[in-house]
Amino acid sequence: MAGSLRDRLIVGLDVPTVKDAEAVVRELDGVASFYKIGYQLAFAGGLDFARELASGGTNVFLDMKLLDIDNTVARGVENIVRMGVSMLTLHAYPKAMRAAVEAAKGSDLCLLAVTVLTSMDAQDVVEAGYEYDPHTLVLRRAEQALAAGMGGIVCSAAEASAVRKVVGPKLALVTPGIRPAGAERGDQKRVVTPADALRNGSSHLVVARPIIGAVDRRAAAEAILAEMANA
Protein backbone atom coordinates (compact mmCIF):
# COMPACT_ATOMS: atom_id res chain seq x y z
CA MET A 1 0.00 0.00 0.00
CA ALA A 2 2.99 2.30 0.08
CA GLY A 3 2.85 5.15 -2.40
CA SER A 4 4.07 8.73 -2.35
CA LEU A 5 5.53 10.12 0.86
CA ARG A 6 2.28 11.98 1.51
CA ASP A 7 0.38 8.70 1.31
CA ARG A 8 2.82 7.11 3.74
CA LEU A 9 2.52 9.77 6.46
CA ILE A 10 -0.54 9.18 8.65
CA VAL A 11 -1.42 12.14 10.87
CA GLY A 12 -2.99 11.07 14.15
CA LEU A 13 -6.07 13.19 14.89
CA ASP A 14 -5.61 12.81 18.64
CA VAL A 15 -7.77 15.80 19.49
CA PRO A 16 -10.87 16.08 21.72
CA THR A 17 -13.52 17.26 19.24
CA VAL A 18 -14.48 16.98 15.59
CA LYS A 19 -14.17 20.77 15.36
CA ASP A 20 -10.52 20.47 16.40
CA ALA A 21 -9.99 17.67 13.88
CA GLU A 22 -11.55 19.71 11.10
CA ALA A 23 -9.14 22.54 11.92
CA VAL A 24 -6.15 20.19 11.65
CA VAL A 25 -7.32 18.84 8.29
CA ARG A 26 -7.81 22.38 6.98
CA GLU A 27 -4.34 23.43 8.14
CA LEU A 28 -2.73 20.40 6.49
CA ASP A 29 -4.64 20.61 3.22
CA GLY A 30 -2.23 19.85 0.39
CA VAL A 31 0.42 18.48 2.77
CA ALA A 32 -1.25 15.46 4.40
CA SER A 33 -3.68 13.01 2.80
CA PHE A 34 -4.01 10.25 5.43
CA TYR A 35 -5.46 10.59 8.95
CA LYS A 36 -5.80 8.30 11.95
CA ILE A 37 -8.92 8.39 14.10
CA GLY A 38 -8.68 6.61 17.45
CA TYR A 39 -10.77 6.25 20.60
CA GLN A 40 -10.63 9.86 21.74
CA LEU A 41 -12.13 11.31 18.58
CA ALA A 42 -14.25 8.27 17.69
CA PHE A 43 -16.31 8.69 20.86
CA ALA A 44 -16.84 12.40 20.17
CA GLY A 45 -18.44 12.10 16.74
CA GLY A 46 -15.29 10.93 15.00
CA LEU A 47 -16.90 7.96 13.26
CA ASP A 48 -19.19 10.23 11.27
CA PHE A 49 -16.19 12.44 10.55
CA ALA A 50 -14.29 9.37 9.32
CA ARG A 51 -17.14 8.63 6.88
CA GLU A 52 -17.09 12.24 5.71
CA LEU A 53 -13.34 12.21 5.09
CA ALA A 54 -13.46 8.85 3.32
CA SER A 55 -16.37 9.87 1.10
CA GLY A 56 -14.30 12.87 -0.03
CA GLY A 57 -11.40 10.67 -1.07
CA THR A 58 -9.21 11.13 2.01
CA ASN A 59 -7.52 8.02 3.41
CA VAL A 60 -8.65 7.17 6.94
CA PHE A 61 -6.95 4.81 9.38
CA LEU A 62 -9.56 3.74 11.96
CA ASP A 63 -7.57 2.74 15.04
CA MET A 64 -10.14 0.74 17.00
CA LYS A 65 -7.95 -2.23 18.05
CA LEU A 66 -10.91 -4.60 17.88
CA LEU A 67 -10.97 -7.77 19.98
CA ASP A 68 -14.08 -9.80 20.77
CA ILE A 69 -15.76 -13.08 19.95
CA ASP A 70 -15.56 -14.05 16.28
CA ASN A 71 -19.12 -13.14 15.31
CA THR A 72 -18.94 -9.72 16.97
CA VAL A 73 -15.65 -8.90 15.26
CA ALA A 74 -16.99 -10.03 11.89
CA ARG A 75 -20.20 -7.99 12.10
CA GLY A 76 -18.22 -4.94 13.21
CA VAL A 77 -15.78 -5.29 10.31
CA GLU A 78 -18.64 -5.65 7.82
CA ASN A 79 -20.03 -2.27 8.92
CA ILE A 80 -16.59 -0.65 8.92
CA VAL A 81 -16.09 -1.81 5.33
CA ARG A 82 -19.23 0.16 4.42
CA MET A 83 -17.68 3.31 5.94
CA GLY A 84 -15.09 3.39 3.16
CA VAL A 85 -12.05 3.78 5.42
CA SER A 86 -8.66 2.52 4.27
CA MET A 87 -7.21 0.83 7.37
CA LEU A 88 -8.53 -0.78 10.56
CA THR A 89 -6.65 -2.20 13.54
CA LEU A 90 -7.32 -5.38 15.49
CA HIS A 91 -5.38 -6.91 18.33
CA ALA A 92 -3.35 -9.77 16.88
CA TYR A 93 -5.33 -12.70 18.31
CA PRO A 94 -5.56 -15.46 15.68
CA LYS A 95 -9.30 -16.22 15.91
CA ALA A 96 -10.27 -12.55 15.80
CA MET A 97 -7.95 -11.94 12.85
CA ARG A 98 -9.35 -14.86 10.87
CA ALA A 99 -12.91 -13.68 11.48
CA ALA A 100 -12.04 -10.15 10.38
CA VAL A 101 -10.27 -11.30 7.22
CA GLU A 102 -13.29 -13.36 6.20
CA ALA A 103 -15.64 -10.44 6.87
CA ALA A 104 -13.52 -7.99 4.84
CA LYS A 105 -13.01 -10.35 1.90
CA GLY A 106 -13.51 -8.64 -1.45
CA SER A 107 -13.16 -5.12 -0.03
CA ASP A 108 -10.26 -2.64 -0.14
CA LEU A 109 -10.04 -2.44 3.66
CA CYS A 110 -6.51 -3.12 4.92
CA LEU A 111 -6.69 -4.98 8.22
CA LEU A 112 -3.78 -4.29 10.54
CA ALA A 113 -2.65 -6.53 13.39
CA VAL A 114 -1.54 -4.69 16.52
CA THR A 115 1.39 -6.63 17.96
CA VAL A 116 2.71 -4.89 21.11
CA LEU A 117 1.79 -1.30 21.93
CA THR A 118 4.72 1.09 21.53
CA SER A 119 4.02 2.46 25.02
CA MET A 120 4.97 -0.94 26.50
CA ASP A 121 8.46 -2.10 27.43
CA ALA A 122 9.70 -5.48 28.70
CA GLN A 123 8.46 -4.94 32.26
CA ASP A 124 5.03 -3.92 31.03
CA VAL A 125 4.76 -7.10 28.95
CA VAL A 126 5.72 -9.24 31.95
CA GLU A 127 3.19 -7.42 34.12
CA ALA A 128 0.50 -8.16 31.52
CA GLY A 129 1.18 -11.88 31.94
CA TYR A 130 3.07 -12.71 28.75
CA GLU A 131 5.98 -15.14 28.83
CA TYR A 132 7.76 -13.45 25.91
CA ASP A 133 9.84 -10.29 25.77
CA PRO A 134 8.35 -7.57 23.51
CA HIS A 135 10.54 -8.40 20.50
CA THR A 136 9.72 -12.11 20.58
CA LEU A 137 6.02 -11.43 21.12
CA VAL A 138 5.94 -8.99 18.17
CA LEU A 139 7.51 -11.56 15.83
CA ARG A 140 5.19 -14.35 16.99
CA ARG A 141 2.14 -12.17 16.41
CA ALA A 142 3.47 -11.05 13.03
CA GLU A 143 3.72 -14.70 11.96
CA GLN A 144 0.15 -15.31 13.12
CA ALA A 145 -1.10 -12.21 11.27
CA LEU A 146 0.54 -13.35 8.06
CA ALA A 147 -0.99 -16.81 8.43
CA ALA A 148 -4.44 -15.27 9.04
CA GLY A 149 -4.25 -13.24 5.82
CA MET A 150 -4.08 -9.79 7.41
CA GLY A 151 -3.12 -6.80 5.27
CA GLY A 152 -0.45 -5.45 7.56
CA ILE A 153 1.17 -5.13 10.95
CA VAL A 154 1.37 -2.37 13.55
CA CYS A 155 4.61 -2.44 15.50
CA SER A 156 7.40 -0.23 16.74
CA ALA A 157 9.75 0.98 14.03
CA ALA A 158 12.54 -0.43 16.19
CA GLU A 159 11.17 -3.89 15.33
CA ALA A 160 10.23 -3.10 11.72
CA SER A 161 13.30 -4.67 10.14
CA ALA A 162 12.80 -7.97 11.95
CA VAL A 163 9.06 -7.98 11.23
CA ARG A 164 9.66 -7.24 7.55
CA LYS A 165 11.81 -10.38 7.35
CA VAL A 166 8.92 -12.39 8.79
CA VAL A 167 6.07 -11.01 6.67
CA GLY A 168 7.86 -10.26 3.41
CA PRO A 169 7.64 -7.18 1.17
CA LYS A 170 3.92 -6.98 0.41
CA LEU A 171 2.24 -6.38 3.77
CA ALA A 172 1.79 -2.84 5.09
CA LEU A 173 4.01 -2.15 8.07
CA VAL A 174 2.57 0.74 10.07
CA THR A 175 4.69 2.23 12.81
CA PRO A 176 3.52 4.64 15.53
CA GLY A 177 5.88 6.07 18.11
CA ILE A 178 7.57 8.19 15.44
CA ARG A 179 9.43 11.20 16.77
CA PRO A 180 11.36 13.68 14.58
CA ALA A 181 15.02 14.18 15.47
CA GLY A 182 15.22 16.13 18.74
CA ALA A 183 11.53 15.72 19.68
CA GLU A 184 10.34 14.65 23.16
CA ARG A 185 9.44 10.98 23.61
CA GLY A 186 6.20 11.67 25.52
CA ASP A 187 4.61 8.43 26.82
CA GLN A 188 6.18 6.31 24.08
CA LYS A 189 8.97 3.96 25.18
CA ARG A 190 10.07 2.49 21.82
CA VAL A 191 10.50 5.39 19.42
CA VAL A 192 12.37 5.95 16.14
CA THR A 193 12.91 8.91 13.78
CA PRO A 194 10.98 9.05 10.46
CA ALA A 195 14.06 8.37 8.33
CA ASP A 196 15.16 5.40 10.42
CA ALA A 197 11.65 3.95 10.37
CA LEU A 198 11.60 3.91 6.57
CA ARG A 199 15.09 2.45 6.42
CA ASN A 200 13.93 -0.29 8.80
CA GLY A 201 11.13 -1.32 6.44
CA SER A 202 8.10 0.69 7.58
CA SER A 203 5.58 1.41 4.84
CA HIS A 204 3.52 3.97 6.80
CA LEU A 205 4.41 6.27 9.71
CA VAL A 206 1.87 7.45 12.26
CA VAL A 207 2.69 10.86 13.71
CA ALA A 208 0.37 12.67 16.09
CA ARG A 209 1.81 14.85 18.86
CA PRO A 210 4.80 16.28 16.94
CA ILE A 211 2.34 17.64 14.34
CA ILE A 212 -0.86 18.23 16.32
CA GLY A 213 0.99 19.94 19.17
CA ALA A 214 3.14 22.14 16.94
CA VAL A 215 2.64 25.91 16.76
CA ASP A 216 2.83 25.62 12.95
CA ARG A 217 1.34 22.23 12.11
CA ARG A 218 1.86 22.61 8.40
CA ALA A 219 5.56 23.34 8.82
CA ALA A 220 5.89 20.42 11.25
CA ALA A 221 4.32 18.02 8.74
CA GLU A 222 6.49 19.34 5.92
CA ALA A 223 9.61 18.88 8.08
CA ILE A 224 8.67 15.26 8.75
CA LEU A 225 8.09 14.65 5.03
CA ALA A 226 11.54 16.14 4.40
CA GLU A 227 13.07 13.71 6.94
CA MET A 228 11.27 10.87 5.18
CA ALA A 229 12.60 12.04 1.80
CA ASN A 230 16.14 11.94 3.17
CA ALA A 231 15.73 8.23 3.85
The catalytically annotated residue of 29, 68, 165, 170 is 68
Domains of the chain: 5-229 (3.20.20.70)
Question: Quick check: is 63 catalytic?
Answer: yes
Given a contact cutoff of 8 angstroms between Cβ atoms, the answer to whether 88 and 74 are in contact is: no
What is the DSSP pairing of strand 9-12 with strand 204-207? parallel
Tally Cβ neighbours within 10 Å of residue 204.
28
Question: Quick check: is 48 catalytic?
Answer: no
Q: What percent of the chain has pLDDT over 90?
A: 75
The strand pairing partners of 66, in sequence order, are 90
75 is in an annotated binding site: no
The catalytically annotated residue of 19, 29, 48, 63 is 63
Tens digits of per-residue pLDDT, 60-77?
999 999 999 999 999 999
Nearest to 2 by CA among 169, 227, 193, 180: 169
- Inform me whether the pLDDT recorded for 183 exceeds 60: no
C-alpha 230/C-alpha 224 separation (Å) is 10
Average pLDDT over residues 33-42: 96
- Inform me whether the pLDDT recorded for 120 exceeds 90: no
Question: Quick check: is 68 catalytic?
Answer: yes
The pLDDT, as a whole number, for residue 3 is 60
Average pLDDT over residues 116-129: 71
Tens digits of per-residue pLDDT, 139-166?
999 999 999 999 999 988 888 999 999 9
118 is in an annotated binding site: yes
The strand pairing partners of 62, in sequence order, are 37, 88
C-alpha 114/C-alpha 206 separation (Å) is 13
- Inform me whether the pLDDT recorded for 219 exceeds 80: yes
Tens digits of per-residue pLDDT, 3-14?
688 899 999 999
28 is in an annotated binding site: no
The catalytically annotated residue of 65, 108, 133, 170 is 65
The pLDDT, as a whole number, for residue 1 is 45
209 is in an annotated binding site: yes
193 is in an annotated binding site: no
Kindly report the pTM of this predicted structure. Answer: 0.90
